[in-house]
Chain A
Amino acid sequence: MLIDWFTVGAQVINFLVLVWLLKRFLYRPILDAIDAREQRIAAELADADAKRAEAKQERETFQHKNQEFDQQRAALFTHAMDEAKAERRRLLDEARQTADALRDKRQEALRQEADQLNQALMHRTEQEVFAIARKTLTDLAGASLEERLVDVFIERLGAMDSEAHTLFAEALKATSEPVRVRSAFELPPAQRELIQAALNSRFETEVPVQFEAGPDLVGGIELTANGQQVGWSIADHLRSLEQGVRELLKAKDQSDVVPKPAQPAPDATHS
């Protein structure tokens, strides 16, 4: 018989024991390990998913922020550019104005300096001319010239118009002081008498006369009574000439100032 029933029983027990042992030592630990690993992997995958989602969100936030930043920067840049342009324009204007003012001032100063120089030159020339004239005339003036001057004086006295004559006569009557006769040199007594006689005859009265010498007259004779004056001297002529020249210079100055042409200013704007 091929079946041994004791062996069958023993094998059944053996098999059941093996089932229990393998369950205990093989299947359960292995399955537990696999489950634990799967759980862990699932957890890690979920974690990775969460992290990816988070990263995506953060990336979007970052991109958004980046865009905002770019926009802000562009806006700020534009603003700054505009401001810089305005500032540049303002500075340029200011510089131009300052340059213009400086140029005007300098032109004014130049003109004034030129004027002053001109005037100084003219005064100097004038003074020199008169000094030379005075000197020459003073050198030339002598006794004989004085005589001639006395003649001319007397002649003038005679030729005095009626109005001047009346004024002078009234002046003589009003004062008790003597009439002053000034000359560049001390007059000799003969000529004094001539003048005395001419005055007496002209005003038909005894005129008290005081003779004085005044080198500043250069040459000539002057009659002064109570503020009224009659006479002739080279100094008089020179004075009137000087006055004429001054008036001429003044007129010239004024004509210079008015039509002054605006010169082209040095280029202060480097735009």
Chain B
Amino acid sequence: MHLSPDEIIFWQDGFLKLNATIVFTWALMLVLVVGSLLVTRKLSRDLSRSRWQNLLEILVTGIEKQIAEVGLRDARTYLGFLGTLFLFVAAASLATIIPGYEPPTGSLSTTTALALCVLVAVPFFGIADQGLGGYLKSYMEPTVMMLPFNIISEVSRTLALAVRLFGNMMSGTMIIAILLTITPFLFPILMTALGLLTGMVQAYIFSILAAVYIAAATRTRKPKPATNP
């Protein structure tokens, strides 16, 4: 019984190692990239298009719309980062229906990595939007007194992001594993279905929170018409 796929190690050479997290991440990446390649290879620009293209278009435009609803002005600038966050987390949860699969998001290392990416992306987009001075000034709003609290909030919310996703995904697989030993047949299926749902919700929450943080960094003085998750 292991808590994280990090513990399943296929190959190790000192500090370098190839564990289940990295392998399943690569597999997911391969599926996502090859899938998009196959569909986008023969894109139709006419009114009639294939159903796969339709699916991807709905997905992409849906993400774009969500980002815009959060309050980011130029949604396409953030689409690459936020969209990939959502797609990766969602795909990781969706793949749990495959037997023997361990979601990479069930590893605290992966969620930490994603949270660290968000932690870096927020000041990156903030500085790109309002300049270095403008961005740093936002830490001293409304007064200089708030500076340490702002920094703490920045760090703590990153931690919260990482732990929230990890907890949810890990618990899901854990519950299934435990239930399988107790009540083998019907109940684990229900729990898998529930896990799919929570996985989708987590993917949504993760990317929306990242969008909200970026929006807060880029548009501090502007009113946000966004809906909080």
Which residues of A pack against B, CB within 8 Å? 2-12, 14-23, 25-27, 29-34, 36-37, 40-41
Closest to B114 in A: A15
A25 interface neighbour in B21, B36, B61, B166, Cβ under 8 Å = B36
Determine the chain A residues whose CB is within 8 A of the CB of B16 once the complex forms: 6
Q: Are A7 and B40 in contact (CB under 8 A)?
A: no
Q: Is B157's CB within 8 Å of the partner chain A?
A: no
Q: Are A30 and B40 in contact (CB under 8 A)?
A: yes
Q: Are A33 and B45 in contact (CB under 8 A)?
A: yes
Q: Are B80 and A23 in contact (CB under 8 A)?
A: yes
C-alpha spacing A173/B171, complex, angstroms: 196
Q: Is B125's CB within 8 Å of the partner chain A?
A: no
Closest 6 CB pairs of A and B: A11-B113, A26-B36, A7-B109, A29-B40, A23-B80, A2-B108
Determine the chain A residues whose CB is within 8 A of the CB of B112 once the complex forms: 3, 8
Q: Are A11 and B110 in contact (CB under 8 A)?
A: yes
Q: Are B4 and A2 in contact (CB under 8 A)?
A: yes
Q: Is B43's CB within 8 Å of the partner chain A?
A: yes
Q: Are A17 and B116 in contact (CB under 8 A)?
A: no
Given A11-B21, A19-B84: 17 more A-B contacts, CB < 8 Å: A2-B108, A4-B6, A7-B6, A7-B17, A7-B22, A8-B109, A8-B113, A11-B25, A11-B113, A14-B113, A18-B33, A20-B80, A22-B32, A22-B80, A22-B84, A30-B60, A33-B53
Q: Are A6 and B17 in contact (CB under 8 A)?
A: yes
Name B's interface SS: helix
C-alpha spacing A19/B29, complex, angstroms: 10
A7 interface neighbour in B21, B44, B61, B83, Cβ under 8 Å = B21
Determine the chain A residues whose CB is within 8 A of the CB of B81 once the complex forms: 19
Q: Are B117 and A37 in contact (CB under 8 A)?
A: no
Determine the chain B residues whose CB is within 8 A of the CB of A16 once the complex forms: 117
Q: Is B15's CB within 8 Å of the partner chain A?
A: yes
A4 interface neighbour in B19, B29, B56, Cβ under 8 Å = B19
Q: Is B57's CB within 8 Å of the partner chain A?
A: yes
Determine the chain B residues whose CB is within 8 A of the CB of A20 once the complex forms: 80
Q: Are B114 and A3 in contact (CB under 8 A)?
A: no
Q: Is B98's CB within 8 Å of the partner chain A?
A: no
Q: Are A15 and B107 in contact (CB under 8 A)?
A: no
Q: Are B37 and A25 in contact (CB under 8 A)?
A: yes
C-alpha spacing A18/B3, complex, angstroms: 26
CB distance from B108 to the nearest CB of A (A): 4
Closest to A26 in B: B36
Residues 43-85 of B contacting A (Cβ, < 8 Å): 43-47, 49, 53, 56-57, 60-61, 76, 79-81, 83-84
CB distance from A13 to the nearest CB of B (A): 9
B3 interface neighbour in A2, A7, A32, Cβ under 8 Å = A2
C-alpha spacing A10/B56, complex, angstroms: 28
CB distance from B8 to the nearest CB of A (A): 11
Q: Is B26's CB within 8 Å of the partner chain A?
A: yes
Q: Are A25 and B40 in contact (CB under 8 A)?
A: yes
C-alpha spacing A234/B60, complex, angstroms: 155
Given A2-B3, A15-B114: A33 and B84 within 8 A (CB)? no
CB distance from A23 to the nearest CB of B (A): 4
CB distance from B188 to the nearest CB of A (A): 24
User: Which of B21, B104, B108, B109 has the most CB atoms of chain A within a 10 A radius of its CB?
Assistant: B109
8 pairs, CB–CB < 8 Å, chain A vs chain B: A4-B19, A4-B107, A8-B112, A9-B113, A14-B26, A22-B83, A29-B40, A34-B61
C-alpha spacing A27/B4, complex, angstroms: 32
Determine the chain B residues whose CB is within 8 A of the CB of A30 once the complex forms: 40, 43, 53, 56-57, 60
Q: Is B87's CB within 8 Å of the partner chain A?
A: yes
Determine the chain A residues whose CB is within 8 A of the CB of B56 once the complex forms: 26, 30
A12 interface neighbour in B33, B87, B88, B117, Cβ under 8 Å = B117
